[in-house]
Structure 1
């Protein structure tokens, strides 16, 4: 971006106005914006929002309520959590450019947030994905520049905060192809400045054509852009000559930024000193300073055949010694912003290298003050506006879009009922990838337990416990089934359902040979139900289809074999979805298999331990999905994050009979109201977080795929299953490398994500698996 334009001296007025101004402000006058609740796909989004608007260059900036736009077919609507403030935004408002921006403009072009709505033609983004919006908002996509990856040169280029509304608002629109995918392992507030400052210096670094091990001079290394340039150059394997002035800048460049050499540009023999310390001059120079002299100096000390990349913009024109440029074959390039792929590379480098972007988060209403600091030269680092209601650090990375999920401080001073031990458990859960059952109660769940109003006995009391009944009614409404029954675990729920369907042996259950009811429930089927099992391997290697099922059903016409009485399916399995289409086809076929008169038809059972994950990811109606099953067991301690329990659903006649088997299997409970209340709260407060969990899982999977990992199963929901056998990686190695990073994993290669996985946990996981892959290739 144009970070170094000289500042005009005109004075502009900045005010906060609107219709009306919010009444709830803090002592500093910061506005507390209304919460915008989670809106599932297909529901209506808010129609108004807050945004900073200026009518034309140099005129008043107003913080006021404005309409929320609707994305076009190839666009996405993004709810902005944070937006960086760039000098380009200041200059666009002040009128320092010859081309005026559009009128009634919302500025800003360093915004990060979550996809809130998508156009009909968008295929590679989902609601809940974390994305960024930068300077390049929309391009034609077909011109010679777009085809070559030079989108910033597109003749139909539209610019965020300059020709189209930008990111100083709660919702903004961007073409989906230009939306930046934010990787896990970097906080949103830190990612925001990378969308402009970071990509500016990274693109300049690429334009320099400097190779790893070669020397690049960063002119203006002590400033904001220069410090980032030094860190990017070191992260990319280059040697860095930092050029700045003063003892403080020298210490910062050499010790904080890791520069290899330092030369003071005010030195009387500066060019000779540069040649001496670099052994003939740097191979390239990046000039981010906004004065003319460093350009002339660079032309004298650059190594023959080298490249000078100009980022800063000195006022006025420049003269130079073209004879030396020609005879020394010195290239001079101007560098602009990068494209989407390059921006995502710039973000990935920060995640991989671990260097930090210097920024300061301020309230959304403080844009005027930020501009004043810029004009007076008092700005330190990068300023980032906090626009979303909540902070971004996961599990604090929540937004208005995902409901009222404000970050909770778990300590003894904050809430009397939240213990320090629970806070430690939450920290541990943030690094635990063994399962999504490792989550611990959130504040709303703890409140539900403490405030439980019923303490009945679910067996002795006539009619059961009221809180349990209320929860079961809630599940009935959610699933569309006639009845529901709260049980202690998923295993108990599955085995109760299977036993209830079966009456007199011989009988068999047909299922996927990897199914949980067969492989992970301690051999309960033959013991409790006296049934044999027909295990089927799916031909597609992922999930069963009708083609797998129909030839394996045993009808009652051969006394040599026990007839099939149940077809048991599972969703998800290894995190992969059993699609609605296949469930429907299997069910329609099975329910029409002939049975002798007086015999019940073959039953359809669903182990829906992660059904909530599946229907959220596939975006299908849970009622329709369950209509193809006679019974289902839905786990509440997985995607929902309840402390315990599952719920089984079916017809009223079926559920009435399951109560007998629940008692027989040791499932009679006392004072279950507290657990039902906790499960209800978890359903309300944690279920809306699943789209973000899935998006984070996909981003980590993309990272692992890029560094060489292969997967056993598709990454559809919240699980990554590594194909350890194909890669030749022992399972114990996964555990060992992750343990060194303070992580908890299983040797199976399955990595389970959940709503309490932290950014730090993801960053540690990526580092551990990168080290493992690097060592494997080395040896």
Structure 2
């Protein structure tokens, strides 16, 4: 099969991914072999490829095939596979596998299992023509979505969903979203389904325009308006979600929430000051559980999520990632072998 291999972490400008011809994966009794129809290009792929996550232990092996949001067709199954058939169209999310026996796994929180395996970071991912996966961690894709449209549901879709769910939205509640690029735009759509009023905060005018189209109650550019003054004038937000990788955004997200409110961090960063007497709640999210993923697919099947995508050839992965790095891509990029 053809695959884009990473042999050594390096700046994307050095084109560290190489197109290679390698053997198809060999499946075990509980695995399925999937012919990839689409694999999303995510900023976390870029961080791993450029070596930003070496201290976190990623990539866990080299060479490695990146890519963790995947849609494809099942071509073969192991003898112990259940509920998955050859010909099924399935998706694979970042959570590739977990131990199944720890306190987190047995309580439906397998996304924080200490022995979890991450697609495209711990094991080979979807920048290839084929991928294998444990049958317990694949998901059937609704018929109403084409391959490219369905692919982003398996990372930005589930990430946005979990962040919004943690923010406890309800009719009339004000949710401030800092960073309304790809993931933030999905979060706006999901929060609206709960009846929340969304205040979108972003430095990108293009992203703010899209946020308005998606139904944000109000949009704010920090370069043109005083963010703190705005939220003070509306008696602050009930909760906030941060998708912008910025300590300043995190600081503002903490401060604009009223006492007793919730701040959800979908990025890493630092909180400069935190007033404990206000009893605010800070939650972090990384990847979704299997149940989160099923719920996202149901919302998408019902027409509640629409993600703008653009398709690219597998062999163009280096250039697509370079464009992503410099914010030259507005839609969600999908590699299609």
TM-score between both structures, scaled by the size of structure 2: 0.92
* SS of residue matched to 2:104: helix
Change (3 A) 1:113 1:245: same
Give the superposition deviation at 1:189. 0.8
CA distance in 2, matches of 1:347, 1:235: 14
The structure 2 residue matched to 1:55, chosen from 1, 4, 7, is 7
Change (3 A) 1:131 1:163: same
String of CA shifts for 1:577-636, please: whole Å, max 9, x gaps. Answer: xxxxxxxxxxxxxxxxxxxxxxxxxxxxxxxxxxxxxxxxxxxxxxxxxxxxxxxxxxxx
The structure 2 residue matched to 1:143, chosen from 99, 102, 108, is 102
The structure 1 residue matched to 2:318, chosen from 363, 368, 384, is 368
Kindly report which structure 2 residues correspond to 1:208-607, keeping only aligned pairs within 5 A, or say none: 208-221=167-180, 223-245=181-203, 249-254=207-212, 256-267=213-224, 269-277=226-234, 280-314=235-269, 318-322=270-274, 324=275, 326-387=276-337
Where does residue 65 of structure 1 map in the other structure? 21
| Equivalent residues of 1:133, 1:179 under 8 A apart | yes
More strand by share: 2
Give the superposition deviation at 1:385. 0.8
Runs ≥4 residues deviating over 6 A = none
* SS of residue matched to 1:205: helix
CA distance in 1, matches of 2:304, 2:283: 29
Higher RCO, Cα 8 Å, sep 6+? 2
Give the superposition deviation at 1:63. 0.9
| Equivalent residues of 1:79, 1:171 under 8 A apart | yes
Where does residue 116 of structure 1 map in the other structure? 75
CA distance in 2, matches of 1:111, 1:320: 37
Give the superposition deviation at 1:244. 2.3
CA distance in 2, matches of 1:205, 1:292: 20
| Equivalent residues of 1:80, 1:172 under 8 A apart | yes
Change (3 A) 1:120 1:253: same
Give the superposition deviation at 1:174. 0.8
| Equivalent residues of 2:189, 2:305 under 8 A apart | yes
| Equivalent residues of 1:263, 1:274 under 8 A apart | no
Give the superposition deviation at 1:64. 1.5
String of CA shifts for 1:692-729, please: whole Å, max 9, x gaps. Answer: xxxxxxxxxxxxxxxxxxxxxxxxxxxxxxxxxxxxxx
Change (3 A) 1:182 1:135: same
CA distance in 2, matches of 1:270, 1:220: 13
CA distance in 2, matches of 1:384, 1:148: 33
Which range moves more in the overlay, 73-82 or 209-218?
Answer: 209-218
Give the superposition deviation at 1:61. 2.1
CA distance in 1, matches of 2:198, 2:18: 43
* SS of residue matched to 1:347: helix
| Equivalent residues of 2:177, 2:243 under 8 A apart | yes
Change (3 A) 1:245 1:100: closer
More helix by share: 1
Aligned residues: 330
The structure 2 residue matched to 1:90, chosen from 34, 46, 64, is 46
Structure 1, unaligned runs of 5 or more: 1-48, 388-779
CA distance in 2, matches of 1:195, 1:345: 11
* SS of residue matched to 2:126: coil
| Equivalent residues of 1:309, 1:335 under 8 A apart | yes
Change (3 A) 1:131 1:248: closer
CA distance in 2, matches of 1:252, 1:53: 34
> Is 1:127 the equivalent of 2:103?
no
Change (3 A) 1:214 1:329: same
| Equivalent residues of 2:30, 2:134 under 8 A apart | yes
CA distance in 2, matches of 1:117, 1:372: 35
TM-score between both structures, scaled by the size of structure 1: 0.41
Give the superposition deviation at 1:113. 0.6
| Equivalent residues of 1:68, 1:171 under 8 A apart | yes
Give the superposition deviation at 1:246. 6.7
Give the superposition deviation at 1:270. 2.2
Change (3 A) 1:247 1:366: closer
